Amino acid sequence: MSDKPFRVLPELTETTRHFWEGGQERELRFPRCQSCGAWIHPPTPLCPECLGKDLAIEAVSGRATVLTFTLNHQQWVPSPDHPYAIAIVELEEQEGLRLTTNVVNCAAEDVGIGMPVQVIFEQYEDVWIPLFEPAEEA
Ligand SMILES: [Zn+2]
């Protein structure tokens, strides 16, 4: 058994590669509309805010807040990290810019709504999975 939890890895495509490979540079990346500044996730060919087509990949700060979470106690597959927290976090850059992720590097029971977290990356082959850990005090 590996010391890392089991993960089903995503297929990299031209529209998702920036996201899964960003961790190599310790960057959490999303498309951003160059017309109105909106961050876009999941990727779309047009900006959902202004329908602009001029999108570029940019990195966010990686700082976020836990919006909601659940604790998984079921051992679905052999894995070292039970129980673990599955959370929806919102990036500080924009209301609604959210990821479903795991909160790690703390006891699962210590995860709470409103908790400040920051991104870290866990590498599997050519994929860097964005996870979140409790944020250091500013
Ligand atoms: Zn826009």
> What's the 14 CA to ligand 1 centre distance in angstroms?
21
Q: What is the DSSP string of 86-119?
A: EEEEEETTSTT-EEEEEE-SS-GGG--TT-EEEE
User: What residues form DSSP beta bridges with 88?
Assistant: 68, 100
Q: Which residue in 127, 125, 138, 109 sits closest to 117, CA to CA?
A: 138
Question: What's the pLDDT band for 14 if we cut at 50, 70, 90?
Answer: very high
Cβ(75)–Cβ(98) under 8 Å? no
Between the CA of 33 and the centroid of ligand 1 the distance, in Å, is 5
Ligand 1 center to 85 CA (angstroms): 33
| Cross-strand pairs, 63 | 118
Question: 51, 32 in Cβ contact below 8 A?
Answer: no
pLDDT at 2: 60
Q: What is the mean pLDDT of residues 78-99?
A: 91
As a whole-number percent, the residues of the chain with pLDDT over 90 amount to 84
pTM of the complete model: 0.92
Is a pLDDT exceeding 80 seen at residue 45? yes
95 CA distance to ligand 1 centroid (A)?
15
| Residue 80: Cβ within 10 Å count | 11
